[in-house]
């Protein structure tokens, strides 16, 4: 059984008859111990889809799905008590900016011990011991004395380590890391990713790594999902996607990477941005930005379909040479 199973998950905002589809009928699953990368520009629905899994979409957002289960438990209909047991304990999430996720009014130790109290109970002494252990696990030196510090006394990298310690406090089976390194210096970014992967292996935890950085997930993830404007446009093994993307959007993400452009005079990237509520076109949502768009693309939405062990949502997927399989007109 897959750990997390999602079928046709949508998150809509705004009016019933003309909703903004922040997430539009996405399906994926993740197994125990697997690392899944979810990639896309900002506004592609990566974070919103994960917040929906965590039950963190508030009114006026509307979540619907044919299936949304964690180890067979239906997350859409679970009672408040069962949900509390699951979310934050078996599934937990860390966010982009640790400074806004930690409470500035409480010490690091208090916040970790509170997380333990809510989900695991135990005596105060046990929780304190576990809090020290957790800080050691995430590589914080002088763990014992760090319990008494406040978040503002920590650097960005240290704060993110504390967030990770809190997220893994209850030994989750699935950790969702939403842009966990974006707010950090480049050298610290690598350390945090290494730490996440290290913990993932040691604890045999499943990890969803959400990022706009395709190079990062290409190395870290087993499988990658590429999202655009709330939809999955490509899904497959990380290595295969990185070596030969089949979707024009994935190709553009790759071509905008500095390492890909080595030796070339400039980075190539798609013009424009992810369409918002009022500027979504008919047909394929990428068509205003896609170099291969045809008249057909402007009128008919492509379906996500299986191709060579991958899933691709494009009328003319790219071949191994990076050219559309059918010539554009």
Question: C-beta of 23: minimal distance to ligand SF4 in Å?
Answer: 19
Using an 8 Å Cβ cutoff, are 32 and 171 in contact? no
- Would you say 54 or 307 has its CB closer to ligand SF4? 307
**Of 25-33, 162-170, 236-244, 291-299: span binding ligand SF4 (CB under 6 A):** 291-299
Q: Does 47 bind Mg ion (CB under 5 A)?
A: yes
Q: Does 318 bind ligand SF4 (CB under 6 A)?
A: no
**Of 110-118, 153-161, 168-176, 311-319: span binding ligand SF4 (CB under 6 A):** 311-319
**Of 61-69, 72-80, 95-103, 290-298: span binding ligand SF4 (CB under 6 A):** 290-298
Q: Does 69 bind Mg ion (CB under 5 A)?
A: no
Strand partners for 235: 225, 311
Question: C-beta of 45: minimal distance to ligand SF4 in Å?
Answer: 17
> Could you say which of ligand SF4, Mg ion, none residue 216 binds, taking C-beta under 5 to 8 angstroms by partner kind?
none
Parallel/antiparallel/unpaired status of strands 305-307 and 206-211? unpaired
Footprint on residues 221-260 left by ligand SF4 (CB under 6 A): 248
Q: Is 188 exposed, middle or buried (0-12, 13-18, 19+ CB in 10 A)?
A: middle
- Would you say 52 or 297 has its CB closer to ligand SF4? 297
Contacts of 264 (CB under 8 A, 6+ apart): none
Residue with tokens 């768009």: 293
**Of 113-121, 204-212, 215-223, 279-287: span binding ligand SF4 (CB under 6 A):** 279-287
Q: Does 284 bind ligand SF4 (CB under 6 A)?
A: yes
Q: Does 28 bind ligand SF4 (CB under 6 A)?
A: no
Contacts 24+ apart (CB under 8 A), 145-150: 146/108, 146/109, 147/107, 147/108, 147/109, 147/112, 148/107, 148/108, 148/109, 149/107, 149/108, 150/104, 150/106, 150/107, 150/108
Question: C-beta of 295: minimal distance to Mg ion in Å?
Answer: 34
């Amino acid at each position: 059984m897959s750990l997390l199973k999602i079928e046709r998950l949508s998150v809509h905002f705004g009016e019933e008859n003309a909703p903004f589809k922040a997430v539009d009928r996405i399906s994926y699953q993740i197994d125990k111990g697997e690392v899944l990368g979810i990639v896309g520009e900002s506004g592609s629905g990566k974070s919103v889809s994960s917040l929906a899994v965590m039950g963190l979409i508030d009114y006026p957002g509307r979540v619907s799905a044919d299936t949304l289960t964690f180890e067979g438990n239906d997350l859409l209909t679970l009672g408040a008590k069962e949900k509390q047991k699951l979310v934050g304990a078996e599934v937990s999430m860390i966010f982009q900016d640790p400074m806004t996720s930690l409470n500035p009014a409480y010490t690091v130790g208090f916040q970790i011990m509170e997380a333990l109290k809510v989900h695991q109970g135990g005596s105060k002494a046990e929780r304190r011991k576990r809090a020290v252990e957790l800080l050691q696990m995430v590589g914080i030196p002088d763990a014992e004395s760090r319990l008494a510090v406040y978040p503002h006394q920590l650097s960005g990298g240290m704060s993110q380590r504390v967030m990770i310690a809190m997220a893994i406090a209850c030994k989750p089976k699935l950790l969702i890391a939403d842009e966990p390194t974006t707010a950090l210096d480049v050298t610290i970014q690598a350390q945090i990713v290494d730490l996440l992967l290290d913990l993932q292996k040691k604890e045999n935890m499943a990890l969803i790594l959400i990022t706009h950085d395709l190079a990062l997930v290409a190395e870290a993830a087993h499988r990658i999902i590429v999202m655009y404007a709330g939809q999955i446009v490509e899904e497959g093994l990380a290595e295969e996607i990185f070596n030969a993307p089949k979707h024009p959007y994935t190709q553009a993400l790759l071509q905008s990477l500095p390492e890909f452009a080595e030796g070339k005079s400039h980075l190539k990237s798609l013009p424009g941005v992810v369409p918002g509520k009022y500027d979504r076109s008919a047909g394929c949502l990428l068509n205003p930005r896609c170099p291969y768009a045809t008249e057909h693309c402007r009128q008919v939405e492509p379906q996500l379909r299986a191709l060579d062990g991958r899933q691709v949502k494009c009328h003319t997927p790219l071949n191994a040479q990076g050219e559309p399989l059918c010539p554009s007109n």
